[in-house]
């Protein structure tokens, strides 16, 4: 009788240990996924900020008016500045 109780307890402990191990592995995987998703979110936030800056610059260039040649020249210069800013941001993110 005592052997049966002891064996039952051993089985339950073994099951609990197995479940604990599985849950630890699952927790590690979920933590890695959370980290990955946080990184993706931060990258997307930075991208949105860059797009918002580009929109502001384009609105500013458009509001300056003038002839189309001058507008084209200003847009090219603004695009060049935006590319340089993007490069700096990507270097800072590394």
Digitized pLDDT (tens) for each residue of the chain, 94 residues in all: 788 889 999 999 999 999 999 999 999 999 999 999 999 999 999 999 989 988 888 887 777 666 667 777 778 888 888 888 888 888 777 6
**Which structural domain range is residue 78 located in?**
2-93
Distance CA 8, CA 56 (A): 71
Measure the CA–CA gap between 64 and 74, rounded to whole angstroms. 9
Instruction: Give the Cα separation of 80 and 83 in Å (integer).
Output: 5
In 3D space, the residue among 88, 91, 59, 53 whose CA is nearest the CA of residue 75 turns out to be 59
3-state secondary structure of 1: coil
What pLDDT is attached to residue 64?
A: 67
The pair of structure tokens assigned to 9 is 């307890």
Which of 1, 21, 88, 22 lies closest to 53, judged by CA?
88
pLDDT of 66 reads 60
Q: How many domains does the chain have?
A: 1
Residue 13 pLDDT: 94
């Amino acid at each position: 009788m005592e052997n049966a109780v002891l064996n039952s307890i051993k089985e339950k402990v073994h099951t609990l240990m197995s479940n604990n191990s599985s849950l630890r592995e699952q927790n590690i995987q979920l933590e890695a996924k959370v980290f990955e998703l946080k990184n993706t979110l931060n990258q997307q936030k930075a991208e949105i900020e860059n797009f918002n800056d580009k929109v502001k610059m384009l609105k500013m260039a458009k509001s300056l008016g003038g002839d189309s040649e001058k507008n084209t020249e200003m847009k090219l210069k603004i695009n060049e500045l935006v590319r340089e800013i993007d490069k700096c941001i990507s270097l800072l993110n590394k």
